[in-house]
Amino acid sequence: MGADTGLGEVVAGAAVVTDGRMVEGVFLKQGPYGHYVQIGEDKKGLFPKRASLSKVKDIDSVTLEDAIELLQYPKILGKHPEDDYPVLITHSKVGYNIKHRRSLALVPKSVDPKKMTLERALKLLSGKSVRRIGRPKGKVENKEPMEWH
């Protein structure tokens, strides 16, 4: 697979170009919740980008291309036409999701996430299978002060 560096095991290659900048390496690491890939080395105060390999059955078969594919998420598909907030495609344990503010829609298994467009994501967000995430805003029932006896 690669050379052991003490920080993790290098999947392949000495350097990778992502987002137009050079990164020192891609590492395969074992954490408390399983294996994951990471771009760059651990530095104090900085959190390198990581992606879980929970769905990968054979860790030894992970290639550099697989690692880069997982590390590209979450990816911005565009801005929602109604409120200009970003629409994202994310990767999770259950598959790929479309996220907009507090709405989350599961991408069907039959759809290739690499070919996801903003228009298709908006259709999924307007469907019936959309979930709301996060804590709902609290409702104030009665603004009158309570009396203590």
**Over its length of 149 residues, how does the chain's per-residue pLDDT go in tens digits?**
444 444 455 554 445 555 555 556 888 888 888 888 888 887 888 888 888 887 777 888 888 888 888 889 999 999 999 999 999 999 888 889 999 999 999 999 999 999 999 999 999 999 998 999 887 777 656 666 667 76
Confidence at residue 7, expressed as pLDDT on a 0 to 100 scale: 43
Evaluate whether 85 touches 101 at the Cβ level (below 8 Å). Answer: yes
Tell which residue, 45, 32, 42, has the closest CA to residue 7. 42
Confidence at residue 21, expressed as pLDDT on a 0 to 100 scale: 54
The bridge status of strand 103-106 relative to strand 131-132 is antiparallel
User: Which residue reads 């987002």 in tokens?
Assistant: 19
Confidence at residue 42, expressed as pLDDT on a 0 to 100 scale: 79
Confidence at residue 14, expressed as pLDDT on a 0 to 100 scale: 43
Evaluate whether 32 touches 52 at the Cβ level (below 8 Å). Answer: no
Tell which residue, 24, 49, 46, has the closest CA to residue 36. 49
